[in-house]
Structures are given as C-alpha cells and as structure tokens.
Amino acid sequence: MTAPLVIAVAPNGARRVKADHRAIPLTPAEIADTAAACADAGATVLHLHVRDDRGGHSLDVDRYRAATAAVRDGAGDRLVIQATTEAVGIYSPDQQMAMVRELRPQAVSLAIRELVADAAAEGPAADFLAWADRAGIAAQYILYDQADRDRLIALQARGIVPQAAPNALFVLGRYTTGQQSDPRSLLPFLAGWPAGWPWSLCAFGAAEAACVAAACALGGHARVGFENNMTLPDGGMAPDNAALVANLAAIAARIGRPIATADQARSTYGATAP
C-alpha cells in the first residue's frame, strides 16, 4: 500500500462539453492550462482526448500533436501524456491502430473489447501490440468487467499481449444504471488478478472519491477527472479537474500513501521520458 500512488487525470473525455461544465477543456490551450493545474495538484499522468471543431470526439493525429505540444509547453515533462484510442462508436480497430502508428505517443490507452473483440482480431492486434512495445509506447489496457480481465490474462498467456506484466485500468460504473459506481465493485476485478501486474481504477459518478480511496488502500493507482465525474465528496460541483486531483492526493496523504513523482509514474507505466 505504501508504493507511490500514480494519479492520472482525464479532464474531458469524449462526450462532455461546456454545457456540462464551463471548465471542461476542449482546445489545446485549455487542455494545457488544465494539465498544468492538475500537475500542481499531484497528477503525473494526463489521459488525453482531443475534439474536432464542433467539440466532437476525434482521433485526428494533428489535433493530438497540437494538444501534446501545448501541454509540454505549459507543464514540461511533469506528466506522462497518454493518448486515448476510444472508438465512441465512430472508429474501427484499424483506424485506432493507424492513429497510434502515425502519432507514436508516449503512452496509449487500449480497450480490450474494442481492439481484440474476437478471434479474427487477434492477429492484427498481436502485430500492432508487438510493434507498439518495440516502439516504446506505454500501453494501458482498459477493462470494463471481469470478462475483459479474463480476456487480457488469456491474451497475455498466449503472447498476443506482449508485456510480461500488462498495465490495466479497471473502469467502474460505465454500464450501470445512471453510470454510478460502488467501491465494492473493485473486488471482483482483483480476484485472480496476477501478482505484480500494475492496475489503476477510475469510477463513474458521485462515488468516485470512495472508489479511488479503495484503490489507494488496496495498492492500486487511480484516475480522476471530468470524463467520469464532476462531483466533490460533499456532493457539490467541483470547480475544475484540479480539485478532484487535490482531493485524491489528500485521501492518499490521510492513509499514508505517498504520491508518485513524474519519474516514478513513467516507471510504473513503462513510459520513456518525453
């Protein structure tokens, strides 16, 4: 439990817009300002989504490059920048993989159920994941339920996932009524999770703080941010993403969990320096 806690922040996601909260960052400049504030509050990983001119979800490489450059200008090397490949019902696995090959991000998040949906997808996925590993791109595998967990473990055993100890994000509440989470939902993910494999948690809804507190106490890492939740533990609206990061840092301090430095976060994620 005393291993340094890596705090990731997901400040915008694929769907929320200014009508949801005026502090949702959409442009490169807004994302950079948010990233710097979150780094000041204790975050060392930025889960990056970019948007098109209408505010819609995009996997456009040029938009990723612009946002990444802005974040580096504003926050330096204090954050691992993790590009998302989320499909949102728009992008195919081939398009997701092509984006990563062109962008060559420092880190990337990959949903197992999107990238390796069935046996036919295993060959292309294996080639892509092996390439990304050789390229030094730090992969984090997104798992929504225990079936996703079991599939990741099986894919790793068969060599399709190349890492000896894959890094995973457990997502709570995505498919529950009203997208609300319960910290007890973490326990089934951990049952049978291989020892030594790094894991993080994010949680939809107002119980985000309770869920990430459970992750802290059980030795995992955590991600917070407006992508999943905009509510403080007292029920009030968070003024910005940095407030959610600061709350998580305070939770960690209360239970004696140190906050990871940028170098420690890079080591945990398997990311190279920018």
Q: What is the pLDDT of residues 106-117, one digit of tens each?
A: 999 999 999 999
Give pLDDT tens digits for 172-211. Answer: 988 778 888 999 999 999 998 999 999 999 999 999 999 9
Answer yes or no: is pLDDT of 1 > 70: no
How far apart CA 160 and CA 152 sit, in angstroms, is 9
How far apart CA 226 and CA 238 sit, in angstroms, is 9
Predicted confidence at residue 179, as pLDDT, reads: 85
Amino acid letter, residue 204 = F
Predicted confidence at residue 2, as pLDDT, reads: 74
Give pLDDT tens digits for 203-243. Answer: 999 999 999 999 999 999 999 999 999 999 999 999 999 99
Predicted confidence at residue 139, as pLDDT, reads: 98
Predicted confidence at residue 207, as pLDDT, reads: 95
How far apart CA 265 and CA 8 sit, in angstroms, is 9
Helix axis angle, 208-217 to 241-254, nearest 10°:
40
Query: Do the beta carbons of residue 107 and residue 138 sit within 8 Å?
Result: yes
Coil, helix or strand at residue 201: strand
Predicted confidence at residue 175, as pLDDT, reads: 76
Predicted confidence at residue 174, as pLDDT, reads: 84
Q: Which domains does the chain possess?
A: 7-269 (3.20.20.70)
Going by their DSSP bridges, the two strands 57-58 and 50-51 should be labelled as antiparallel
**Non-local CB neighbours of 261 within 8 Å, separated by 6+ positions:** 4, 44
Give pLDDT tens digits for 248-260. Answer: 999 999 999 999 9
Average pLDDT score, the chain = 96
Predicted confidence at residue 141, as pLDDT, reads: 98
Give pLDDT tens digits for 80-105. Answer: 999 999 999 999 999 999 999 999 99
Q: What is the pTM of this model?
A: 0.96
Write out the two tokens for 225. 């941010």
The torsion defined by the Cα of 205, 240, 38 and 202, in degrees rounded to 10, comes to 10
Predicted confidence at residue 176, as pLDDT, reads: 78
Q: Rounded to 5 degrees, what angle do the CA atoms 113, 211, 152 make?
A: 25
